[in-house]
Amino acid sequence: MELVAVARSRSRGFCEERALVLHAVGIGSQLAWDGEQWLLLVDFADEAAARGQLERYAAENPARAAPPDLRTHPRAWSGSLVYALVLLGIGWAAGRHLDDVSWWDAGALVSSALREGQWWRAVTALTLHVDIAHLVGNIGFGAVFGLLASQLLGPGVAWGTILLSAALANVATAWLAPRDHVSLGASTAVFAALGLLASYSWRSRGAERTRWAYRWAPLIAGVALLAFTGAGGERTDVLAHLLGFAMGVAAGVAHAAYQSRPASAHTSRRNSILQAVVALGACALLIVSWTFALVAYPD
């Protein structure tokens, strides 16, 4: 017997409720957990009838058609821990001028240098800070936003997305800012995480038949927080913050669109592999970038 999923949610109650609807009209079903969400499975021959019944039920009960997704990804904290350790480690190395290198000169985002081919500065600049207060602030905000994003997407995918979004934002900053523009700090990544979190939550609510204020609340809150924390201060790189947030928003929309696609009944192992591969890729990008930076630094 071939089974197909006709409903899916991280809420078991959501699928159980629809199983009762199908049972009432004589359609057999069963629940299955695929490692990410609950699936309501029916026989292939009953798929069309089951979907028709569930569509009619959803139309008659719009307020209950899409309950809140409360289940979070396990080990979401691990990404934030690695993030904090990386920033502390680079901060320690830079403060001690390890290997007789000025890590700030080697890794800061200098627009003219990046335009001339030193691409690694888009990544290395994210790990450098001007002082302890700058470092601690970015660790605190970044760990929180990254944790929340990791709970939704998984730590590997979330932090890989944050790193790539922030690096792309730095590349855009280097080309849009004057050639003598210099920037460093993880704040671009912090706002990329905020944009990712806000837009993913916004798009995930977009299909719900709820009031516009509820649907748009995550994005509105993200923009408000960006304006409150990312656009003031003498040393604030507003352009980098805005571009980081924008890149994060784009990534969040893309993730929400991908997550809305039909999933197979057995994706737990594939998701675990994906999380590991993306996490290793992000770590490799950091290592390779700093290797280029240190090798290119003049003796």
Alpha carbon of 170 to those of 49, 64, 234: distances in Å? Answer: 51, 43, 19
pLDDT the model gives residue 243: 93
pLDDT the model gives residue 261: 58
Question: Do residues 149 and 136 lie in contact, with contact meaning Cβ atoms separated by under 8 Å?
Answer: no
Q: What distance in Å separates the CA atoms of residue 33 and residue 46, rounded to the nearest whole number?
A: 20
* φ, ψ (nearest 5 deg) of residue 63: -70, -20
**Least confident interval from 46-50, 171-175, 281-285:** 46-50
Domain with CATH 1.20.1540.10 in the chain: 77-296
Domain with CATH 3.30.70.1530 in the chain: 3-64
Fold observed for domain 77-296? Rhomboid-like fold (1.20.1540)
**Least confident interval from 115-124, 231-240, 289-298:** 231-240
In this predicted structure, the answer to whether residue 23 has a pLDDT above a threshold of 70 is: yes
The model's pTM = 0.73
State pLDDT tens for residues 38-86. Answer: 999 999 899 999 999 999 988 887 654 444 444 567 789 999 999 999 9
Fold observed for domain 3-64? Alpha-Beta Plaits (3.30.70)
First to last CA, the chain: 69
In this predicted structure, the answer to whether residue 269 has a pLDDT above a threshold of 70 is: no
State pLDDT tens for residues 88-105. Answer: 999 999 998 887 889 999
State pLDDT tens for residues 134-148. Answer: 899 999 999 999 999
Q: What is the mean pLDDT of the chain?
A: 85
**Least confident interval from 149-153, 156-160, 231-235:** 231-235
Higher per-residue pLDDT: 62 or 158:
158
Q: What distance in Å separates the CA atoms of residue 151 and residue 275, rounded to the nearest whole number?
A: 12
